[in-house]
Structure 1
């Protein structure tokens, strides 16, 4: 019978830990599900990673709904460079989605309603073409 190899926290890369923490914080899985899925042996290992690498503030115990709401707020502790990069990448993705939405709205306004939006000297102007 082959015994399972005991692993320590040093066996997991930072990228792996951050990925697991992100999945738990997004609600894609619970910490117990992550532990089982990835074969993490320690009962509190994933929780330790969440406290150390996550965006959630763990200083005050709270109910689940307050925790979820607080996860969207910026933490009071300074972010690690990896966390800051992840946060900026998320913000960039959100801004790209907003930009695509606005571009689509402008296209619809132009094509279906004859309204064009122009940018001049940093200001937007709306030109309505009359239908004859």
Structure 2
């Protein structure tokens, strides 16, 4: 039985070093994907290209891990300084809002005073409200 396909099994030794480096460079620059490189250059396995990326690429494959690395004291200081700056901005914003709110209170007080003088009416309550008579009757029954 004859094999009609023209498939030739190749090994990594069949590819020149310059070709490997060119493929790795193109993949890292984003010009082609691993799959496109395989098809374009007739590479049989994805893992072959991945091995080239590990050996010759710029990405640090050994130190990639989902676990976060411990931060250096300098990194912690920089993060804390950034957090302090953010909190200072927030403080300044809130102080400005408080200042504006105080001015509004003064303005509304002046408006109420003016309205009371102009229209001769009491807008503010000057005395503590007395209890209603219903609650006094309930207290007497007990």
TM-score, normalised by the number of residues in structure 2: 0.41
Structure showing the higher helix proportion among its residues: 2
Greater strand share, 1 or 2? 1
Tell me which structure has the larger Cα radius of gyration. Answer: 2
